[in-house]
Amino acid sequence: MKAFPAILMATTMLFAPAFAEPLALEKDELTLGFIKLTDMAPLAVAYEQGYFLDEGLFVTLEAQANWKVLLDGVIDGTLDGAHMLAGQPLAATIGYGTEAHIVTPFSMDLNGNGITVSNAVWEAMRPHVPSGVDGKPQHPISAEALAPVVDAFRSEGKPFNMGMVFPVSTHNYELRYWLAAGGLNPGYYAPGDVSGQIGADVFLSVTPPPQMPATLEAGTINGYAVGEPWNQQAVIKGIGVPVVTDYEIWRNNPEKVFGLTEKFVEANPNTTLALTKALIRAAIWLDENDNANRAAAVEILSKPEYVGADADVIDNSMTGTFEYEPGDVREVPDFNVFFRYNATYPFYSDAVWYLTQMRRWGQIAEARPDSWYDEVARSVYKPEIYLKAARMLVEEGLADAADFPWDSDGYRPATPASDVIDGFGFDGRKPNAYIDSLPIGLKGGQTVVGTEIQG
């Protein structure tokens, strides 16, 4: 836990750039939550670099035990806002699980996740993975290589278990996407059955991110999907092998968001703008000059009050490389993206993709028209707040106008098929056509009734 002392505010203001008239803040003392993952970096950087303080905000950052505790804290007001799974504001707003209207004016990053399997599973997968001329595995590795291993478990009467961090997490949907792209069914949700394991070839369950490596080592799960540094931790500890990154599943996919209740935003519009300004500045700092500040960011994140993993573990991915097997270190300059490619802009199309995955696997039980997806996206993602904050930063000389999509209608250009591991492109304006194009998953008016797909 950290809070800014008043003396630091006075010192910082002496050396800060010239600012426009400060916002009249409705609330200047805030408590913000996060989970110990490297993609909480914008919060840590905004604190350590004094960007919150520049906006007149006295911020306390508090690590949370898990994603449910974090969401509950935002809803009940214990937390004013938080680093969130992108699916959380959407699920809460449509009433899947805990019901509350959560909004986001800021997307925190792109990419940053991986899928890791145990050493034993990797040994069984390896004969089914093509090798390059250097003898190393060719990437991306398809889940087709996992299918024979799953079949072997089934023939022995054993379930093949994998961990993900939360039912509406990016990790759940990315793991499901990868499995389905390789012909494996990750199972369905249904009203009254939130296990997500109906008809599953691979059984997915929730494990908090920092506990993933220990749970894998104990043999409770055979693999997992998680953000960093917990994939690289498996390599360092010698207990597992990351087989694919989410950058390889879907190039420059959306990841976390910064979430607040609609009630907070309506009561505190200037405070929300100030928060968004500080987070934009932090994202710029993280990516500027070709990631020149990443080494400094690693030192910040390695502090126990933030991620708390060893700096060399965090460094593996944060500085543009990723280690698969021990010694198999590859250049992945966009493994973590915090600002470039309009990473921080809250695109409606990002929200729509999450909603399509909820529908695909039965968390949205019945078919919805395309217009519904757009309406939900607009009710949760708030680019108008983001652009207002960005405009203020530009006017203050703290950001470059060329870095923001001022004329966007809120939708990214359609993702080309070549950017996705299964070769199915995504157009956020046509969610139902996208859902129907995917070989495994609910389509059209299909529903899950009991253990059967009907329709």
Does residue 134 sit in the same domain as residue 244? yes
Q: Is residue 269 part of a domain?
A: yes
**Residue labelled with tokens 């960005």:** 390
Compute, in degrees rounded to 10, the torsion defined by CA atoms 389, 394, 397, 401.
Answer: 140
Does residue 34 sit in the same domain as residue 170? no
Q: What is the DSSP string of 221-269?
A: -SEEEEETTHHHHHHHHTSEEEEEEHHHHBTT-B--EEEEEHHHHHH-H
Does residue 125 sit in the same domain as residue 219? yes
pLDDT digits (tens, 9 = 90+) for 290-333: 999 999 999 999 999 999 999 999 998 999 999 999 999 999 99
pLDDT digits (tens, 9 = 90+) for 341-365: 999 999 999 999 999 999 999 999 9
**Residue labelled with tokens 């939708």:** 411
Could you list the residue range(s) of the whole structural domain that residue 308 is in?
6-110+254-403
266 contacts 318 by C-beta, under 8 angstroms: no
The total of structural domains in the chain comes to 2
15 pLDDT higher than 80 = no
Q: Is residue 135 part of a domain?
A: yes
Does residue 177 sit in the same domain as residue 303? no
Does residue 124 sit in the same domain as residue 104? no
**Among 226, 252, 278, where does a domain finish?**
252
**Among 210, 237, 252, where does a domain finish?**
252
Q: Is residue 446 part of a domain?
A: no
Does residue 265 sit in the same domain as residue 392? yes
Q: Is residue 312 part of a domain?
A: yes
From the list 398, 261, 317, 300, the residue with the least C-alpha distance to 40 is 300
Range in 16-30, 73-87, 226-240 the model is least confident about: 16-30
Does residue 268 sit in the same domain as residue 342? yes
49 pLDDT higher than 90 = yes
| More confident position, 5 or 174 | 174
403 pLDDT higher than 90 = yes
CATH number for the domain including 336? 3.40.190.10
| More confident position, 12 or 61 | 61
Cα separation, 268 vs 52, in Å, equals 16
CA atoms within 13 A on the CB side of 156: 9
Does residue 21 sit in the same domain as residue 40? yes
From the list 440, 155, 398, the residue with the least C-alpha distance to 285 is 398
441 pLDDT higher than 50 = yes
Does residue 370 sit in the same domain as residue 285? yes
Does residue 185 sit in the same domain as residue 244? yes
Q: Is residue 376 part of a domain?
A: yes
Cα separation, 312 vs 291, in Å, equals 17
If pLDDT is split at 50, 70 and 90, which confidence band does 22 have?
confident
Query: Residue 7 burial by CB count (10 A; 0-12/13-18/19+): exposed, middle or buried?
Result: exposed
Q: Is residue 426 part of a domain?
A: no
For the chain, percent of residues with pLDDT exceeding 70: 96
Does residue 184 sit in the same domain as residue 68? no
Q: What is the DSSP string of 125-182?
A: HGGGS-B-TTSSBPSSPPGGGTHHHHHHHHHTT---EEEES-TTSHHHHHHHHHHHHT
Q: What is the pLDDT of residue 316?
A: 86
Provide the 3-class DSSP secondary structure of residue 372: helix
Compute, in degrees rounded to 10, the torsion defined by CA atoms 242, 247, 249, 255.
Answer: 100
Q: How many CB atoms lie within 10 A of CB 434?
A: 22
Phi and psi, residue 168, nearest 5°: -110, 30
Range in 10-14, 72-76, 309-313 the model is least confident about: 10-14
355 contacts 364 by C-beta, under 8 angstroms: yes
**Among 359, 375, 403, where does a domain finish?**
403
1 pLDDT higher than 80 = no
11 pLDDT higher than 50 = no
Tokens of 390: 């960005």
Q: What is the pLDDT of residue 20?
A: 61
250 contacts 420 by C-beta, under 8 angstroms: yes
Q: What is the pLDDT of residue 21?
A: 75
Does residue 98 sit in the same domain as residue 118? no
